Structure 1
Amino acid sequence: MKQFINFSVLVTSAMFAHYSYALPDDINKPLEVQADEAQFDQNSGEAIYKGNVFVKQGSIEIHAEYLKISTDANTRKFSSLEATGTPAKFSQQIDWSGNIVISKGNEIHYSTSESKLEIFGKGFLSRMQNSITADYILYMIQDGTFSAEKKDSGRVTMTLQPQAPESKPAPEAKK
């Protein structure tokens, strides 16, 4: 059974692989955060936001009840965001055509330095009309690959849309 799940993830990754994976300049945009409460420790570079949290960075959007942002002390760049909620949500435009990846779960960990998104508990990820549901989903944003597994309960469920057939040129009419 595990081989089937691994094969399914491989097939899904291949279906996603021919698309762009994220807008290249999102990570260089300012991080805008709104919340009911905020705390910031300049020494540790850690910020905590509580209550109706909304984050925007370029095309990236995060909605959560609680958010912890860690900053690299040397570079002063954001290194990770940890969001929790019922559910916490993450979305990002993945190409210039306006296609979006949407994910949600009880916890979302976004590592900006590794371009990695981890979804814990009641995880869901949707991309280009394909979707996956699992207890745990690891999504590598830059290369568009992911893995999913059962951690506590339930199973990995995937919905894959058939790939559109390549269009063939119309036959020329005989004269």
Structure 2
Amino acid sequence: MKRSKLLMAIVCCLLSTPSVAKLDDINKKLEINATKWDADFQNNRIFYKGNVEITQGTIRISADELTAIDDKINGNKILTAIGTPATFSQILDNGQIGTASASKVRYDKSSGMLVLSGNAKLDVGGSKWTAEVIRYNIKNQHAIAESASDGSNRVKTVIPANSYQKLNKKETNKPQTPTEKKP
């Protein structure tokens, strides 16, 4: 019983990073459903296979398989979801919906690195990015998107018109400094 609590704590720890999840989601119960569960207690590894579904608050993850590793020696906590595609969705603090999907989703909690690889897609409130690989460092909020090595599946960004129209409106309505004059 103590070991199963430890493994659940590993998965909870991996999923509930404050900079990723809504604060409210972190306090919600974590539920994992799958066809098969395999736990290696000695090596702190959990493996779920077959229609894996994870829910915690507004967070939803689905994949064909999921592996959670807590490497005590190197301090790595790694969550890897594989699917056709593996998907993630969450209602963000601002009420927008964030979704991500890829053939493989890997999150390394110690480095804060989230890697979506294989037809990677990211959608935050209607702004969309697609690429072969999207790397996002949660700690420093730095993202890199890459096309496939053969040049296919190029990096694509789609920004809804209302997003930049709001930005233009803010710029137009900003107070003028004494040196600025309206034409």
Q: What is the TM-score when the length of structure 2 is the normalising length? A: 0.68
Residue in structure 2 matched with residue 10 of structure 1 by the alignment: none
The secondary structure found in structure 1 opposite 2:43 is coil
The amino acid that maps onto 1:52 is: N
Residue in structure 1 matched with residue 47 of structure 2 by the alignment: 48
Work out whether residues 21 and 142 of structure 1, in 8 Å CA contact, stay in contact via their aligned partners in 2: no
Correspondence 1:1-175 to 2 at 5 A: 22-24=21-23, 26=25, 31-73=30-72, 79-95=77-93, 97-142=94-139, 144-152=141-149, 153-161=152-160, 162-163=163-164, 164=166, 165-166=169-170, 168=173
Pairs aligned (count)? 147
Displacement after TM superposition at 1:160 (Å): 1.7
Q: Distance in 1 between matches of 2:26 and 2:109?
A: 7
Displacement after TM superposition at 1:27 (Å): 5.2
The amino acid that maps onto 1:67 is: L
Work out whether residues 112 and 137 of structure 2, in 8 Å CA contact, stay in contact via their aligned partners in 1: yes
* More helix by percentage: 2
Displacement after TM superposition at 1:124 (Å): 0.3
Q: Which runs of 5+ in 1 are unaligned?
A: 1-19, 170-175
Residue in structure 1 matched with residue 10 of structure 2 by the alignment: none
Does the C-alpha gap of structure 1 residues 81 and 31 become closer, same or farther in structure 2, counting only changes over 3 Å? farther
Give aligned-pair identity as a percent: 34
Does the C-alpha gap of structure 1 residues 113 and 58 become closer, same or farther in structure 2, counting only changes over 3 Å? farther
Greater RCO, CA 8 A, separation 6+: 1
Does the C-alpha gap of structure 1 residues 122 and 114 become closer, same or farther in structure 2, counting only changes over 3 Å? same
Does the C-alpha gap of structure 1 residues 85 and 125 become closer, same or farther in structure 2, counting only changes over 3 Å? same
Residue in structure 1 matched with residue 3 of structure 2 by the alignment: none
Cα RMSD (Å): 2.8
Q: Which runs of 5+ in 2 are unaligned?
A: 1-18, 175-183
Work out whether residues 66 and 84 of structure 1, in 8 Å CA contact, stay in contact via their aligned partners in 2: yes
Work out whether residues 121 and 135 of structure 1, in 8 Å CA contact, stay in contact via their aligned partners in 2: yes
Does the C-alpha gap of structure 1 residues 155 and 139 become closer, same or farther in structure 2, counting only changes over 3 Å? same
Does the C-alpha gap of structure 1 residues 91 and 78 become closer, same or farther in structure 2, counting only changes over 3 Å? farther
Q: What is the TM-score when the length of structure 1 is the normalising length? A: 0.71
The amino acid that maps onto 1:139 is: Y
Q: Distance in 1 between matches of 2:101 and 2:133?
A: 11
Q: Distance in 1 between matches of 2:154 and 2:90?
A: 26
- Which one is further off, 104-113 or 55-64? 55-64
